[in-house]
Structure 1
Amino acid sequence: MTKKTVLIVDDEPDIRELLDITIGRMGVHTESVGCVRDALALLGEQAVHLCLTDIRLPDGSGIDIVRHIQDNNRDTAVAVLTAYGSTELAVEALKAGAFDFINKPVSIEQLRNTVTTALRLESGEPRVDSSSHTRLLGETPVIRQLREQITKLARSQAPVYISGESGSGKEVVARLIHANGPRSSAPFVPVNCGAIPGELVESEFFGHVKGSFTGAYDNKEGLFEAANGGTLFLDEVADLPLNMQVKLLRAIQEKAVRRIGSNQEIPVDVRILSATHRDLAKEVAAEHFRSDLFYRINVIEVQVPSLRERGSDIPLLARFMLDKLAQSWGIEAPELNPSALEALTRYSFPGNVRELENIIERAATLCENNIIVAADLSLPDSSVPATVGADQGPSLLGQAKGDIEGYLAGIEQHILRDALSANDGNKTETAHMLGLTFRQLRYKLQKYNFD
């Protein structure tokens, strides 16, 4: 079997020698040059599987090599060596198409991890729906474009920020990026940042040692350690407390964590994917989210379209969900009659795909003769408008006459029930959808005796 080749580009002979010896001991063939010109010449002469290049070179920048490889050698992964703390240059390189970056002075363990991960990349187009449990269904242009983005991002180690409304499928996108990349055999660790109590966030992320605080009865590894070698997916990252954002930034930059109560740093090799349904740029402007962390996790942004933006995919998604339910329940898949399909395509789906799944499951339970009609969908009553216009006043006044408080309370309960259903009962996401604090939502649920 032919050895894979790593090209080392650095103008310091000592660095080249260190990299050459370390990588050579991994059973990999190496070539070394000291400038951009020689690197481009060698890339044009022979196949290179990975290029390790310094950023600052005598006749140019390592980013020039990154861009050349993106244009001419797409099967070659490229990682850049940056001076310690040069976050801006590292981010620029990742945006230009670099696979990863390594800080100087070079950590031997990080170097080996980067080389091993990069050499696992396969040529050609990976299958986006490679996971039997995770699929991105749809044939609309926005979904086809999203598939193409996933294919490209799976070959990189750059941090990816996934934006989109609640229930639109952000975790599905994250899982597919992981499943189609070189880390697919390692853990994918998802964490809902908004669901962890504030006093436990640091322990959950970084772990703790026995006796470090009351209740720490044993050593515990954190989420970073659990995801080592794989991917850590930070869902609802905007909900992290500010003091935790500082520590998260340090862990990402240093590629190491320290358990609570320990003085020892533990190296971690983790790819960071993050998501939130909020506008993170607005959170930064409002000083609710640190700008330095924002720029570090938002190297590449992927936007997941809402279900409203791909309405023609609804019949395909609904039938897939029914087939999945039928297989799970051991029954014949119910059919959607034309009236049900029309009702689904007219509905706005504020809860997106997650809401559609809830609606389909409920309809499959309620339908008769294994045929789902519009009434079985129990879609929110369109007679209750979201806003009151001038032409709606008389009819609404007629409905509310004599008991305006009871009428308004009924509308509020209706909205709360739909929002909870759209978010699968998740109170944190329901509060976000309605623009309420968690405490406000809890008060309203108690007020109306919601279980």
Structure 2
Amino acid sequence: MNASLDQNIRALIVDDEPAIRELLAYTLEDMDLQVSLAASVQEARAQLAQGDIQFCLTDLRLPDGSGLEIVSEIQSRYPNIPVAVITAFSSADTAVEAMKAGAFDYVSKPIDVNRLRLLARKALQLAGAKPAAEKCSEDASCHQHAARILGVSPAITRVREQIQRLGRSMAPVHITGESGTGKELVACAIHSASPRASAPFVPVNCGAIPENLIESEFFGYEKGAFTGATQRRAGLFEAANGGTLFLDEVADLPLNMQVKLLRAIQERAVRAVGATREVTVDVRIISATHQDLAQLVAQKRFREDLYYRLNVIPLSVPPLRERREDIPVIAEALLQRVAERQGLGNLALSPAALAWLTHYPFAGNVRELENLLERAAALYEGDSIEPHDLQPPGTSNSETAETPVNLDDTIDATEKRILLDALERANGVKTEAARLLGISFRSFRYRLKKLEMQ
């Protein structure tokens, strides 16, 4: 059966072995792709310069250089072309190096034709997804998770930009950040910005699974594998097949499980407890932790080989106290969600409460902000939420926030800075600035008028 992609797409195959080139070309042509061939770095550059390549597959060992040169050149000169690499079967480190250089995925020798077809499909999804990725306001389904990562600060803007770039790669991503910063939200946004968006996103808290159950949770088990196993059960890897497996608090994995996880990632196959054969899986791994994995490696509490396999592309989520200009926007959005959950209708923060929040230390980050708003929504009695409604039980105002001398001036200055930053990022387009802030155009226009910024 022909696995046609029905697209007028040209793929570039770079390999100096004629037999490999022939196999790759036959497979891709059987998918109705046009194919160009190159046997060296120089020939590949000439083909790329013609400007009609939409996908590149290159061997890493070439007679006049390395395939990594091609990967790097495509990244710098042709960033819209997805590039994958061909590696020796056991060269996991080389594959990691290629993905760090910009390759979105790899295929091992000897070539698995089914794996090659899957890789080609992903490449073409990436090539076709670029225009949609540039039109965030028109593609809500692809960006609904990224849209919840609110703020206008340079720090969170960089995170959103990284999310879009990482969506085009299949490389493992390791997310670091303090508890409550939204690491799972970032992982979900990366998944949603990728060709895997229609496949499952499976999150798992590695520290919440009892050690005696962790292998069966990850890899599944066969009927009769142990007492109580009355039927076969698929594990997390199989559940995430075709999509993304998010390993939250990955530092909490016991060492014996780290060995098995490393093998599953490298071999792209898992063996259920009690099974006699492995099952191939296609899963992208995104991991996260609030701990310092490099330090744990130095302390022999985390395997170095697994660390390098997970930490191919690092991404850091900033704490809330380092982006205080984002607090008013985040608080307003969270308050709307709290009101909906509690069925309270419209809720509002008083100017004093908003100023109080912008000076609060937020050790627990966005999660703590949401908890404060949940509590305040349940307890407030006036027309709006005031600072004393937000204050955690058993604390004084001096212990939590430094109240500004002139609340109105502080609020106005903060709001002006936020609006100006949004307008600058939107090149002066007010509707786009309102979208970036996550508020309606009517609300944005009202704020401009109130602050005499029209």
TM (norm. structure 2) is: 0.82
1:97, 1:83 → 2: CA distance? 18
Partner amino acid, structure 2, of 1:177: I
Match for residue 237 of structure 1 among 250, 273, 278: 250
2:122, 2:383 → 1: CA distance? 49
Match for residue 261 of structure 1 among 266, 274, 279: 274
Match for residue 368 of structure 1 among 364, 381, 394: 381
- The corresponding residue for 1:10 is 15
TM superposition shift of 1:332? 2.7
Match for residue 160 of structure 1 among 154, 161, 173: 173
1:108, 1:266 → 2: CA distance? 17
Deviations 1:344-397 (A, max 9, x none): 1221111110111111111111111341011111336158979xxxxxxxxxxx
1:360, 1:89 → 2: CA distance? 48
Taking a change above 3 Å as real, the CA distance of residues 131 and 45 of structure 1, as seen in their structure-2 partners, is closer
Give yes or no for contact 1:168–1:304 (8 Å, CA) kept in 2.
yes
Partner amino acid, structure 1, of 2:309: R
Give yes or no for contact 1:333–1:370 (8 Å, CA) kept in 2.
no
1:2, 1:251 → 2: CA distance? 33
Report whether the alignment pairs 1:309 with 2:327. Answer: no
Once the two structures are superposed, the pairs formed by residues 52-451 of structure 1 within 5 Å of their partners are 52-121=57-126, 122-124=129-131, 125-126=133-134, 127=136, 130-132=142-144, 135-379=148-392, 381-382=395-396
Deviations 1:251-289 (A, max 9, x none): 111111111111211111111100000011111111110
Deviations 1:116-152 (A, max 9, x none): 1111112244439744456110000101111111111
- The corresponding residue for 1:412 is none
SS at match of 1:272: strand
Give yes or no for contact 2:174–2:286 (8 Å, CA) kept in 1.
yes
Give yes or no for contact 1:113–1:269 (8 Å, CA) kept in 2.
no
State the Cα RMSD in Å: 1.7
Ranges of 4+ aligned residues in structure 1 off by more than 3 Å: 124-134, 327-331, 382-386
2:271, 2:114 → 1: CA distance? 17
Match for residue 54 of structure 2 among 16, 40, 49: 49
TM superposition shift of 1:327? 3.3
Q: Give the percent of matched residue pairs that are identical in Structure 1 and Structure 2.
A: 55
Match for residue 39 of structure 1 among 40, 44, 53: 44
TM superposition shift of 1:103? 1.3
Partner amino acid, structure 1, of 2:130: S
Structure 1 unmatched ranges of 5 or more? 387-451
TM (norm. structure 1) is: 0.83
1:281, 1:333 → 2: CA distance? 46
Structure 2 unmatched ranges of 5 or more? 1-5, 401-454
